[in-house]
């Protein structure tokens, strides 16, 4: 941690943060670094030292807009700065491995956006670097942010407490529609060289992680298929939000538009997964339903403050899905925010991610999800791709 006592806040050690990338994810992470110490009593004081991006003017403007002290055009400079203790990687997947490994080797903690990498080989190299760094008390975490939604945490607790019994079914969908219109332009998320894969890695990765996180089990084998419905799209004239504006000319889509796969869980249950950006009307629907031997849980991110719980041990006459509003002070993270019923949104999970990360770093603990957890998800994605490519059916992960 920085030893600059002049910048300590209320006697807390500072944690100098450097952000690489400042688009959608960079903005969400910036908001989290700003907000976490204002709503939670953190054991360290995060300092938003510097943001890196390729274009000098744009990165300077982003620093001013998002609240970073300084802006640089070289991530290599950022990861070796003395005032940076943690590097937050918010770039497309093709640069995750290089930046994260360099940062860990420079002795900086790392928070890296998901999916961990564009390939299993890259993810393995990142895990090796993280394990080596951990011996020196330097830690790495992958940003599967939805783990920090209060209703998801409650779901995990209910499963761990045995409230739904043994897991029989996991039904997991991540549905969006931002490229359902064939005239939506190409963006880096549709470019295999940059993103690794399409819906599979971008959003399928989240539901694989959530299935494993909530059940405490792992996916031990899969069979799946991928499809690219629109193979050619307009080139973008500008980039904003997810899709940007269409410009002149067209280019090929080199990733999947949708992924459908099923798998087996380590506890013996069956899982089905669907990830698509072609589900008109579904904007960011992460839908999970878990059926156990004693009950069921259901969640939809588009109603993210709710968790639905069915307890099969209740009297049949009055049994039914109970709608739990996960905003009570007894619920994870909720007490730090607003009075009950005054719900949370997308950005709060990023804040909770910072809260947990800073808590773990201050305690010298390995934060979760670790790079090893990220690699486990990467292996599932890779198995789905192999299954789809070879029409080979089942791919074992054990």
The contact set with ligand SOE (CB under 6 A) reads 24, 176, 202-203, 242, 284
Q: How many residues does the chain have?
A: 398
**Which lies closer to ligand SOE via its Cβ, residue 73 or residue 284?**
284
176 versus 305: smaller Cβ distance to ligand SOE: 176
Least distance (Å) between residue 112 CB and ligand SOE: 13
CB of 396 to ligand SOE, least distance (A): 28
Q: Let me know: does 321 contact 312? Beta carbons within 8 Å.
A: no
Count Cβ atoms within 10 A of the Cβ of residue 88 and give its class: 0-12 exposed, 13-18 middle, 19 or more buried: buried
Rank residues 176 and 388 by Cβ distance to ligand SOE and give the closer one. 176
Q: List C-alpha distances in Å: 303 to 36, 151, 152, 353, 383.
A: 23, 10, 12, 20, 31
Cβ nearer to ligand SOE, comparing 250 with 284: 284
Shortest separation between residue 202's beta carbon and ligand SOE, angstroms? 5
Pick 176 or 218: Cβ nearer ligand SOE: 176
* Beta carbon of residue 24, minimum distance to ligand SOE (angstroms, whole number): 6
Structure tokens at 276: 């698509």
Residue with Cβ nearer ligand SOE (85 or 191): 191
CB of 251 to ligand SOE, least distance (A): 19
Please, is 98 exposed, middle or buried when counting C-beta atoms within 10 Å of its C-beta (0-12, 13-18, 19+)? middle
Instruction: Check if the beta carbon of residue 277 is closer than 8 Å to that of residue 177.
Output: yes
> Between β-strands 70-72 and 45-52, what pairing exists: parallel, antiparallel or unpaired?
parallel
In 114-239, the DSSP E strands lie at 140-143, 167-175, 219-227, 232-238
Rounded-to-integer distance, Cα 87 and Cα 91, Å? 12
**Which is closer to ligand SOE, CB of 95 or CB of 284?**
284
Compute the least distance from the CB of residue 260 to ligand SOE, in Å. Answer: 17
Contact predicate 90/25, CB 8 Å = yes
Least Å distance, CB 203 to ligand SOE, is 5
H-run or E-run covering 35: helix 24-39
By beta carbon distance, the residue nearest ligand SOE is: 202
Nearest approach in angstroms of CB 51 to ligand SOE is 19
State which residue, 164 or 184, has the beta carbon closest to ligand SOE: 184
Q: Which two tokens mark 147?
A: 């783990």
Strand order in the sheet with 140-143: 70-72, 45-52, 14-20, 86-89, 109-113, 140-143
């Amino acid at each position: 941690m920085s030893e600059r006592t002049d910048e300590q806040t209320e006697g807390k050690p500072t944690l100098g943060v450097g952000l690489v990338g400042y688009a959608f994810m960079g903005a969400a992470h910036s908001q989290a670094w700003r907000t976490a110490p204002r709503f939670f009593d953190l054991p360290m004081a995060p300092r938003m030292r510097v943001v890196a991006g390729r274009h000098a003017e744009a990165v300077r403007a982003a620093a001013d807009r998002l609240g970073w002290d300084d802006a640089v055009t070289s991530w290599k400079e950022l990861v070796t700065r003395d005032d940076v203790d943690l590097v937050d990687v918010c770039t497309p997947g093709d640069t995750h491995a290089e930046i994260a490994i360099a940062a860990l080797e420079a002795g900086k903690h790392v928070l890296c956006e998901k999916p961990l990498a564009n390939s299993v080989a890259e993810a393995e190299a990142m895990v090796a670097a993280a394990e080596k760094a951990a011996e020196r008390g330097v830690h790495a975490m992958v940003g599967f942010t939805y783990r920090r939604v209060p209703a998801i945490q409650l779901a995990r607790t209910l499963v761990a407490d045995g409230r739904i019994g043994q897991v029989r079914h996991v039904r997991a969908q991540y549905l969006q529609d931002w490229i359902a219109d064939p005239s939506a332009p190409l963006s880096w998320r549709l470019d295999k060289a940059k993103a690794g894969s399409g819906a599979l890695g971008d959003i399928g990765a989240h539901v694989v992680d959530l299935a494993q996180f909530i059940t405490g089990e792992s996916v031990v084998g899969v069979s799946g298929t991928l499809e690219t419905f629109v193979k050619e799209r307009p080139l973008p004239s500008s980039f904003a939000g997810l899709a940007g504006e269409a410009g002149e000319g067209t280019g090929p889509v080199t990733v999947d538009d949708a992924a459908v796969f099923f798998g087996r869980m380590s506890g013996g249950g069956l899982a089905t997964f669907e990830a698509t950006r072609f589900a008109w009307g579904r904007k960011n629907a992460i839908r999970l339903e878990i059926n156990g031997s004693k009950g069921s849980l259901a969640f939809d991110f588009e109603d993210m403050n709710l968790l639905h719980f069915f307890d099969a041990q209740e009297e049949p006459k009055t049994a039914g899905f109970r709608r739990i509003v996960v905003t009570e002070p007894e619920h994870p993270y909720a007490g730090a925010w607003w009075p009950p019923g005054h719900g949370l949104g997308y950005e709060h999970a990023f804040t909770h991610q910072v809260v947990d990360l800073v808590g773990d770093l201050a305690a010298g603990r390995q934060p979760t999800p670790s790079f090893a957890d990220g690699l486990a998800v990467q292996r599932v994605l890779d198995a789905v791709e192999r299954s789809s490519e070879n029409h080979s059916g089942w791919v074992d992960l054990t």
